[in-house]
């Protein structure tokens, strides 16, 4: 057993695990010998990812198809594995581009549920169990747009500011209890979600978009060392 799996094992729960950063966390955590509870709304792709990670790394995988916007989603997630979740990776997040008043209120409320309510509920439930065991870790995902209000992303950036502030506060509160909390502040990572918002692959961005693999690798290396973190040296320079 590695130091990582002793501290954060034997199971990790990853939300948004069918694609993008969540799927990459699943792969890299399996490579670190953690078993995986994988949550996503997309049943078909979640099944594919679960099969491929299980085949490649031979770890325990339990996929759960769940809509994290639903008020009672925790009932579908909570199970006999609760006490064994040593790492919670809160990745799922929705975004909507457009003027605040031009987007339907329902869209705003759904984003609030997925980006704010769901990670809050999961951190409260699993964080409590980790504190009782005196070990574990929680990862939140924020965005560089959380660092100041961003027009056309008004509510998205506000929800990501919530994730950042909650994560940094929990880093301080849970550290003495043996639980590491880290908030990753992502600038641009190459995922299906990023490509939907940046459809022209030829367009040059600065700093260049990072691979999902490097984004996740750097985040896992930072876990336990700092309250929040911007993956990618060139991306860090945007906030200095």
Q: Give the interface with ligand NAP as residue ranges (CB under 6 A).
A: 16, 18-22, 40-42, 67-69, 91-95, 114, 141, 143, 186, 188-189, 191-194
Helix (H, G, I), strand (E, B) or coil at 26: helix
The minimum distance between CB 175 and ligand NAP, in angstroms, equals 24
Distance set, CA 50 to CA 47, 137, 179, 180 (Å): 5, 22, 27, 26
- DSSP symbol at 165: H
Residue by residue, what is the 3-state secondary structure of 207-240?
CCCEEHHHHHHHHHHHCCCCCEECCCHHHHCCCC
- Where residue 178 falls (left for φ over 0; alpha for ψ -120 to 50; beta otherwise) is left
- Of 186 and 223, the one with the shorter C-beta distance to ligand NAP is 186
Residue nearest to ligand NAP (CB): 93
- On whether the CB atoms of residues 175 and 160 are closer than 8 A, the answer is no
- Whether the ω angle into residue 10 lies within 30 degrees of 0, i.e. cis, is yes
The minimum distance between CB 18 and ligand NAP, in angstroms, equals 4
Cα separation, 219 vs 197, whole angstroms: 23
- Of 22 and 63, the one with the shorter C-beta distance to ligand NAP is 22
- Of 14 and 30, the one with the shorter C-beta distance to ligand NAP is 14
The minimum distance between CB 41 and ligand NAP, in angstroms, equals 4
The minimum distance between CB 220 and ligand NAP, in angstroms, equals 15
- Of 5 and 162, the one with the shorter C-beta distance to ligand NAP is 162
- On whether the CB atoms of residues 20 and 192 are closer than 8 A, the answer is yes
Quick one: which of 10, 29, 222 has its CA closest to 135?
10
- Of 40 and 155, the one with the shorter C-beta distance to ligand NAP is 40
Cα separation, 112 vs 144, whole angstroms: 18
The minimum distance between CB 92 and ligand NAP, in angstroms, equals 5
- Of 69 and 179, the one with the shorter C-beta distance to ligand NAP is 69
The minimum distance between CB 46 and ligand NAP, in angstroms, equals 7
- Of 6 and 44, the one with the shorter C-beta distance to ligand NAP is 44
The minimum distance between CB 180 and ligand NAP, in angstroms, equals 19
């Amino acid at each position: 057993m590695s130091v990582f799996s002793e501290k954060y094992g034997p199971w990790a729960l990853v939300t948004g695990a069918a694609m993008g950063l969540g799927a990459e966390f699943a792969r890299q955590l399996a490579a670190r010998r953690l078993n995986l509870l994988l949550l996503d709304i997309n049943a078909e792709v979640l099944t594919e990812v679960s099969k491929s990670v299980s085949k490649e790394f031979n770890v325990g995988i339990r996929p759960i198809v769940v809509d994290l916007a639903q008020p009672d989603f925790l009932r579908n997630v909570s199970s006999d594995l609760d006490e064994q979740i040593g790492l919670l990776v809160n990745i799922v997040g929705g975004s909507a581009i457009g003027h605040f008043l031009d987007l339907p209120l329902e869209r705003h409320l759904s984003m609030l549920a997925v980006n704010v309510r769901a990670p809050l509920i999961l951190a409260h439930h699993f964080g409590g169990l980790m504190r009782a065991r005196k070990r574990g870790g929680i990862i939140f995902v924020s965005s560089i747009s959380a660092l100041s209000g961003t027009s056309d992303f008004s509510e998205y950036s506000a929800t990501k500011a919530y994730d950042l502030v909650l994560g940094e506060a929990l880093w301080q509160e849970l550290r003495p209890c043996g639980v590491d909390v880290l908030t990753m502040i992502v600038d641009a990572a190459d995922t299906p979600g990023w490509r939907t918002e940046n459809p022209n692959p030829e367009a040059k961005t600065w700093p260049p978009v990072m691979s999902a693999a490097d984004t996740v690798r750097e985040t896992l290396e930072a876990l336990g060392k700092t309250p929040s973190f911007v993956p990618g040296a060139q991306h860090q320079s945007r906030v200095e």
